[in-house]
């Protein structure tokens, strides 16, 4: 274990630091990572952000994005950096399986490991953690780390504020989820004061679609949406061929599930996508319906109560049937 005092004294002199986050990073994964990166480089540390895989182009505009190393593209370099690091920050995940092959490299590395995360049931691999499931984003906890633990609000420059705002905005679905508390709004307001241009960030993330992506969304809504009114559930399913037809790129399916959830009365929505190696599920729910429980119990996954995911080795058709067959078990919670 590492105390905050020990971590602070370690960070008082320049260190070799690696920041990593979960595979297929989303806005919070990249926002928290690049936010912390922007903070640490100002202090003279030698820092690298290593992502396990690539991530959506609508996140590539973020400050310092060009410094990110993608593990699958630079495995040897990544392994060397992990091996030589004095500190590894693990952001927006809490089990090493979420970072694919990087997981075992991080586990066996001699570095001190710092977990900054807001997911349930953390694995015990870290030396220090800022972990809170009531945080709406890992970026909120990076803010807390800098302001309250490092006592260094001045370290939040425009770049850092921009990244942290992005993480909070995306993980709270634009400040819509219950965890977007008044305190989160205060943090967001402070980040705006510190330089985050909220209107520009919103535009860069949400109004930045390719024509293909928008037509794909239209196709999903017109042709692939199924509503099960007796269970207040809606699903959208997508085949490999459909992804290919619309030249789907990393991130192009992100947000699609929210449209299914936006139907009046729907409590549970799922996007079920046939990827090259497996079938991936994205679940969203409203109120206290535990989407993560379904993912954990049936689809080797997990996540938050209202936003969870999982995967299956079965065929798309089998997964769709399995999902439908589960609904009666949850009927009493779905019909309220
Ligand atoms: P998304 O639907 O956006 O891919 O994921 C929503 C949330 O579900 C993520 O923030 C993450 O917490 C969780 N999640 C998604 N996929 C998985 C998975 O395969 N395993 C686990 N444990 N959590 C997942
Ligand atoms: Mn997150």
256: exposed, middle or buried (Cβ count in 10 Å: 0-12, 13-18, 19+): buried
Residues having C-beta closer than 5 Å to ion ligand 2? 28, 92, 138, 171
Read off the pLDDT of each residue in 163-189 and give the average, rounded to a whole number: 96
pLDDT of residue 246: 97
Protein residue whose Cα sits closest to atom 13 of ligand 1: 303
pLDDT at 124: 98
Give yes or no: residues 84 and 230 share one domain. no
**CB burial readout 201-240, b (16+ within 10 A) else e:** beebbeeebeeebeebbeebeeebbeeeeebbbbbbbbee
| CA dist 224 → 107, 227, 244, 336 (Å) | 41, 10, 15, 26
Residues 51 and 192 grouped into a single domain: yes
CA of 16 to the centre of ligand 1 (A): 30
Has residue 79 got a pLDDT over 90?
A: yes
Q: Over pLDDT 90: what percentage of the chain?
A: 96
**Domain boundary residue, one of 174, 204, 234:** 204
- Which residue has better confidence, 250 or 270? 270
Residue bearing the CA closest to ligand 1, atom 20 = 301
- Does the pLDDT value for residue 4 go beyond 90? yes
> Do 89 and 229 reside in the same domain of the chain?
no
Residue 208 half-sphere exposure toward CB, CA atoms < 13 A: 15
**CATH code, domain carrying 35:** 3.90.1640.10
Query: What is the per-residue pLDDT across 12-22, written as a single tens digit (0 to 9) for each?
Result: 999 999 999 99
Q: Closest-lying ligand to the alpha carbon of 117?
A: 2
pLDDT digit string, tens, across residues 262-318: 999 999 999 999 999 999 999 999 999 999 999 999 999 999 899 999 999 999 999
Query: Is the same domain home to 147 and 242?
Result: no
Q: Which of 267, 272, 312 is nearest to 290 (CA)?
A: 267
How high does pLDDT run on average in the chain?
97
Q: Is 308 exposed, middle or buried (CB count within 10 Å of its CB: 0-12, 13-18, 19+)?
A: buried
What count of other Cβ atoms lies within 10 Å of the Cβ of residue 260?
24
Strand partners, 130: 116
Segment 228-236 shows an average pLDDT of 98
The reply to whether 20 and 147 lie within a common domain is yes
Answer with the one of 172, 204, 236 that is the final residue of a domain.
204
User: In 3D, which of 75, 100, 23 has the Cα closest to residue 54?
Assistant: 23
Cα–chain-centroid distance for residue 42? 25
Residue 336, pLDDT > 90, answer no
Taking the CA of 137 as reference, the closest ligand is: 2
Tell me what percent of the residues of the chain surpass a pLDDT of 70: 100
Q: What is the pTM of this model?
A: 0.93
Q: Which domain holds residue 165?
A: 4-204
**120 Cα to the center of ligand 1, angstroms:** 11
Ligand 1: residues whose CB is within 6 Å? 26, 119, 282, 301-304, 307-311
Q: Whose CA is nearest to atom 6 of ligand 1?
A: 308
> What string of H, E and C letters represents the secondary structure of the chain?
CCCHHHHHHHCCCCCEEEEEECCCCCHHHHHHHHHHHHHHHHCCCEEEEEECCCCCHHHCCCCCHHHCEECCCCHHHHHHHHHHCCEEEEECCCCHHHHCCHHHHHHHCCCEEEEEECCCCCCCCCCEEEECCCCCCHHHHHHHHHHHHCCCHHHCCHHHHHHHHHHHHHHCCCCCCCCCCHHHHHHHHHHHHCCCCHHHHHHHHHCCCCHHHHHHHHHHHHHHEEEEHHHCEEEEEECHHHHHHCCCCCCCCCCHHHHHHCCCCCCEEEEEEECCCCEEEEEEECCCCCHHHHHHHHCCCEECCCEEEEEECCCHHHHHHHHHHHHHHHHHHHCC
Average pLDDT, integer, range 239-248: 97
How much distance in Å is there from the Cα of 303 to the middle of ligand 1? 5
pLDDT exceeds cutoff 90 at 177: no
Q: Are residues 270 and 192 in the same domain?
A: no
Q: What is the mean pLDDT of residues 241-258?
A: 95
241/119 same-domain check: no
Q: Are residues 65 and 147 in the same domain?
A: yes
The count of domains in the chain is: 2
Residues 186 and 220 grouped into a single domain: no
Atom 19, ligand 1: which residue's CA is nearest?
A: 310
* Distance between start and end Cα atoms, the chain: 45
Q: Please check the confidence at residue 241 and state whether its pLDDT lies above 90.
A: yes
Residue 190: Cβ-neighbour burial (10 angstroms; 0-12, 13-18, 19+):
middle
Distance 273 CA to ligand 1 centre (A): 14
Tokens at residue 23, please? 């595979």
Minimum CA distance residue for ligand 1 atom 10? 303
In angstroms, the CA 192 to CA 179 distance is 19
Q: In this predicted model, what pLDDT tens digit does every residue of 36-77 receive, in sequence order?
A: 999 999 999 999 999 999 999 999 999 999 999 999 999 999
Instruction: Find the CATH number of the domain harbouring 228.
Output: 3.10.310.30
- Residue 58: predicted pLDDT: 94
Does residue 234 share a domain with residue 303?
yes
Domain boundary pick from 204, 226, 242? 204
pLDDT of residue 53: 98
Q: Is there a single domain that holds both residue 193 and residue 275?
A: no
- pLDDT bracket for residue 215 (50, 70, 90): very high
Separation CA 128–CA 150 (nearest Å) = 14
Same domain, residue pair 160 and 215 = no
């Amino acid at each position: 274990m590492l105390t905050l005092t020990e971590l602070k004294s370690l960070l008082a002199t320049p260190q070799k630091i690696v920041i990593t986050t979960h595979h297929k990073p989303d806005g919070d994964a990249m926002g928290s990572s690049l936010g912390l990166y922007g903070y640490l480089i100002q202090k003279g540390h030698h820092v690298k952000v290593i992502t396990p895989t690539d991530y959506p182009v609508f996140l590539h505009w973020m400050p310092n994005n060009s410094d990110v190393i993608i593990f699958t593209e630079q495995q040897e370099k990544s392994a060397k950096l992990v091996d030589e690091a004095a500190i590894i920050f693990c952001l927006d995940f809490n089990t090493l399986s979420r970072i694919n092959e990087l997981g075992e490299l991080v586990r066996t590395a001699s570095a001190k490991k710092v977990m900054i995360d807001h997911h349930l049931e953390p694995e015990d691999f870290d030396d220090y953690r800022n972990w809170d499931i009531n945080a709406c984003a890992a970026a909120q906890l990076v803010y807390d780390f800098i302001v309250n633990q490092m006592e260094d609000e001045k370290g939040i420059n425009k770049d850092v504020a921009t990244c942290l705002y992005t993480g909070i905005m995306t993980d709270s679905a634009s400040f819509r989820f219950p965890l977007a508390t008044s305190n989160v709004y205060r943090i967001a307001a402070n980040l705006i004061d510190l330089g985050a241009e909220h209107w520009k960030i919103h535009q860069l993330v949400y109004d930045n679609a390719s024509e293909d992506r928008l037509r794909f969304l239209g196709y999903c809504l017109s042709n692939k949406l199924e509503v099960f009114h007796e269970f207040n559930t809606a699903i959208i399913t997508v085949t490999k061929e459909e992804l290919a037809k619309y030249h789907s790129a990393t991130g192009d399916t992100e947000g699609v599930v929210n449209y299914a959830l936006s139907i009046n009365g729907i409590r549970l929505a799922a996007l079920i996508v046939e990827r090259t190696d497996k079938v991936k599920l994205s679940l969203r729910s409203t109120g206290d319906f535990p989407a993560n429980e379904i993912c954990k119990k049936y689809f080797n996954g997990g996540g938050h109560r209202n936003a969870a995911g999982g995967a299956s080795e079965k065929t798309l058709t089998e997964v769709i049937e399995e999902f439908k067959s589960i609904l009666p078990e949850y009927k009493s919670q779905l019909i309220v």
